[in-house]
Chains A and B, each alone.
Chain A
Amino acid sequence: MASPMLLKRLLVLPPALRRSFWSSPSRNQQALPEIYDVVCVGGGPAGLSFVSALKVHPATRHLKIALIDSQQLKAARGQDETLFSNRCSSLTPSSVRFLRNIGAWNHIDESRTAPYHVMDVWDGVSGSKIHFNPADDQSFGIADALAMLVPGNRFSGGRKPYTTDASGEIIATMCENTNLTTALLERLRGGDAAKLTTMDSTKVDSIELGPTPESEEALDLSLWPVVTTSQGQIAARLLVGADGANSPVRQFADIPSPGWDYNQHGVVATLDVDQSFSQHDLRTAYQRFLPTGPIALLPLPNKKASLVWSNTVQNASKLKQLAPDAFVAMVNAAFRLLPADIDYMLEHTDPSQLVSEVSWRISNTTASETGMPSTLPQAIGVQNNTAASFPLKMRHASTYTGHRVALVGDAAHTMHPLAGQGLNLGLADAEALAKKIVYGVEHGMDIGSCWCLDGYNSERWAANNAMLGVVDKLQKLYGVSSGPVVWGRTLGLEIVNRLGPLKGALMGAAAGSR
């Protein structure tokens, strides 16, 4: 990046401010908006955990906070233990620790979560694989597992036996997003909810700067963001954008968010699999890198699994239109067949023939050809109405802070789901920002000022940028189906050197991710 420092300076005052100097002196006559210490737009995982973190700390509990979301914020956790949402995230141990610290983890329905202890990741083209088990090295995380995909990295051996002292060995815990947001909402309601105003089903219509003051002595809110909703206007000492990838707060602050689209969609679904995991099994997450994008099978309780399959836009839309049994056949094919066969089946096989075609080809493909792990479960069904897809893109805001503005979660960064890190980074943002605000309050800072917020930006921007870079490079590296890059992937030639800095970044990010 050219220079985040420079951008940061430019953005100390959002350029939107400059506009206000030219416009609308006519607002003078209006009544002043109601004033809040913190206005958080967005009640997703990032926003809810941020507000919870402020509400549990003695120094920030008294802050007057407004939480705005266009959706209804209500308990939405599934009750039926045979049905699981298709929006699941793997929470790293450091995310779980944060959720425990803010008292939200108690409210999680743990019977609907599934920790996993092993990751099997393999290259669909070369068949080279790593078997990743954190018991090998306590300091490893998901990112390390992926780092091992970088040629030249060590190739791990057999599976370690499960030990009862499992706490340090969990790679991540699969959790439905609704389970998480419900827990956070329950935490917020159960706690001292005084001074928390929740405005849900309330869309932010506009954000502008406050009125120019009427006199030389009067209160001057001309550099305060004022949020207009159907419920009126409120002014924010600190406006937090936890409002997702299309963040209106980021747009107000005029913070650029450069990046690119992968021209891929992530197909998600909740699957039935043929083997169950008992409480004491070592659960494994599987991911195979295919030239069209990675496919991952992540464990859920009760013989269920969560699918995330990144694919071309055309393939994704074809997949979604398949009948359930054909969809399931294609998922099994994607984990088991050679890449050329998979493409052929999607492009040329009549959907009605898919099931038989796949089973014939699978029986004629050996695991040693593809590198398929022997423990890989077989998909046997797909839960109704769970096959869906999302466009995949990479975006990174050039700064997370401006005058009286801070961004957390997807508002600040969007990444490819191949490392399952998006939500974890958002939780880490929420934790870091809340910590800076605690420090600011304890030291009499204006919590909307750069003196309070700068540290948040420097701490999280660099960490997230390292992770985003790694994930993006992996996506590109494994999106290649032939030629030198593949030889390099397999043999660790030449590319090892080229990726030296990448490996360094990976290790750094991993250390922070746990």
Chain B
Amino acid sequence: MANPMISRLTALPSGLRVFALRRFSPSILTSTFAPNSQHLAGRRHHGTESSSPNAASSSVNQTEVSHFNTLASEWWDPHGSSRLLHLMNPLRHDFIRQCLRQDASHDPSKKIRYMDIGCGGGIFAESAARLSNTASVTGIDPTPQVFAVAKRHQRTDPYLLEKNPETGEPRLKYLNTSIEGLVDHPKETNFDIISLFEVIEHIQRPSPFLQACLQHLKPGGWLIGSTMARTNTSWFTTKFVAEEVLKMVPRGTHDWNQYIQPEELRSWARTQPDLAASSGTGWHVMGVVYVPGLGWREINGSETWGNYFFAMQKRI
């Protein structure tokens, strides 16, 4: 039972809790990317370039995949290890709405097509598919067990099994594939929103990975995600407390060196010809903190030390 864990967890200061968010959604990770020299600037300055010398052939960390499998069944347990993710989910929608509201090119009457990369058990994908202004959602995850969890849970909601009467497309579909595998699904492109929640910290070479995501976005579409800053606090909470002290998640779940600072992400985005990240409206970041008793709250400035959302818009 995770219950004693939760109560121990809630006794900890908020900063320590963010770790429970570290899903082990490695997703995407079985790719066979060609090596790409365009690494995120400065992201290795804490060491461990050594972690994966043969990463040239994959953006995925296989060890992470196996950790994830052991936890796949926990996705939908209200008191399981995904609890904080469920609690954070509404904020994801608030953040997306905020980005679209400030986007002059966005037509609110048009229904949105989403792709959720590293969809895991479907927490975000299901919720996006239920929104009244959604045309369709495609969730992809390369881990077969996770894909199975998502599919099974989808069956418990008749609405999610329906086709959208306006487009004839299924409201929600899952594909058991990495992003590279999408070449086999030529229709899965031109999305309005591609989401990457709690994913990039598990990616060994984020730059080619993010570029691959952008290819599936329509011009003017948004790449939206969340992750956690790389700080002493995050090392302490996710590596030391979560893995060593509470043993709540298996050791090795997180590679702290893969955490990315928001500024690093933005610098990278500015170098991308596809992105409109230099202007204020094409780039957004929002720091969020779990406040005991209140839940997740937006806290200005917390993006540099806690969890944060980011959004980057593809050029029109």
Contact across chains for B158 and A443 when beta carbons are under 8 A apart: no
Interface residue? A281 (CB, 8 A):
no
Bound Cα distance A35, B158 (Å): 8
B157 on interface, CB distance cutoff 8 Å: yes
Known: A9-B79, A439-B90, A451-B86. A444 touches B130 (CB 8 A): yes
B150-189 CB contact bits vs A (8 Å, 1 = yes)? 0010011110010000000000000000000000000000
Cross-chain contact B89 with A443 (CB below 8 angstroms) = yes
Assess whether A469 is interfacial by the CB under 8 Å rule: no
Docked Cα-Cα span, A221 to B130, in Å, equals 18
CB-CB under 8 A from A217, the residues of chain B are 155
Q: Mark B90-125, 1 if CB is under 8 A from A, else 0.
A: 100110000000000000000000000000000000
| Chain B residues whose CB sits within 8 angstroms of the CB of A451 once the complex forms | 78, 86-87, 89
Residue of A12, A439, A444 ringed by the most chain B CB atoms within 10 A: A444
Number of chain B residues close to chain A: CB under 8 A: 22
* Chain A, Cβ-Cβ closest to B90: A443
For B161, the chain A residues whose CB sits under 8 A away are 219
Residue A192 at the B interface, CB < 8 A?
no
Q: In the complex the two chains form, is B78's CB within 8 Å of A62's CB? A: no
Q: Contacts A12-B78, A451-B86 known; A444 to B158 CB distance under 8 Å?
A: no
**When A and B form their complex, what is the total count of cross-chain residue pairs whose Cβ atoms lie within 8 Å?**
51
Residue pair B155, A444 in contact (C-beta under 8 Å): no
Given contacts A62-B132, A443-B90, A451-B86, contact A220 B127 (CB under 8 A): no
List residues of chain A with CB within 8 A of the CB of B90: 439, 443, 445
The complex places the Cα of A12 from the Cα of B78 at a distance, in Å, of 8
Contact flag A213-B155 (CB < 8 Å), given A439-B90, A443-B127, A444-B126: yes
Task: Contact check, A446 vs B130: say whether CB atoms are below 8 A apart.
Answer: yes
Q: Is there a chain B Cβ closer than 8 Å to A218's Cβ?
A: yes
Query: Does A223 have its Cβ within 8 Å of any Cβ on chain B?
Result: yes
Q: Tell me the dominant secondary structure on chain B's binding face.
A: helix
A445 touches B130 (CB 8 A): yes
Nearest A residue (CB) for B93: A443
Question: B78 contacts A450, CB within 8 Å?
Answer: yes
B41 — which chain A residues lie within 8 A by C-beta?
none
Nearest CB of A to B163, in Å: 14
List, in ascending order, chain A residues with CB within 8 A of B94's CB.
443
Residues on B with beta carbons closer than 8 Å to the beta carbon of A445? 89-90, 127, 130
Selected from A9, A12, A220, A442, the residue in CB contact (under 8 A) with B155 is: A220
Residues of chain A from 440 to 474 with CB closer than 8 A to chain B in the complex: 441-446, 449-451
CB distance from A156 to the nearest CB of B (A): 36
Q: What is the distance, in angstroms, from A209's C-beta to the closest C-beta of chain B? A: 12
CB of B78 within 8 A of CB of A444, answer no
Residues of B within 8 A of A213 (CB): 155
Contact with A along B256-282 (1 / 0, CB 8 A): 000000000000000000000000000
Find the A residue at minimum CB distance from B128: A444
B131 within 8 A of A: yes
Whether B156 and A444, one on each chain, are in contact in the complex, defined by CB atoms closer than 8 angstroms, is no
Q: List A residues 75-131 near B (Cβ within 8 Å).
A: none
CB-based nearest A residue for B83: A451
Least distance between A438 CB and chain B CB atoms (Å): 12
Q: List 13 other contacts, CB 8 Å, given A12-B79, A35-B158, A213-B155.
A: A9-B79, A12-B78, A221-B156, A221-B158, A223-B156, A439-B90, A442-B93, A444-B126, A444-B131, A445-B127, A446-B157, A451-B78, A451-B86
* 15 A-B pairs with C-beta separation under 8 A: A9-B3, A9-B79, A219-B155, A219-B158, A221-B158, A441-B130, A443-B89, A443-B127, A444-B126, A444-B131, A445-B127, A445-B130, A446-B126, A449-B78, A451-B86
Which 6 A-B pairs rank lowest in CB-CB distance, beginning with the nearest? A444-B127, A443-B90, A444-B130, A220-B155, A450-B78, A444-B131
Q: Which residues of B are in contact with A by a Cβ distance under 8 Å? A: 3, 78-79, 86-87, 89-90, 93-94, 126-132, 152, 155-158, 161
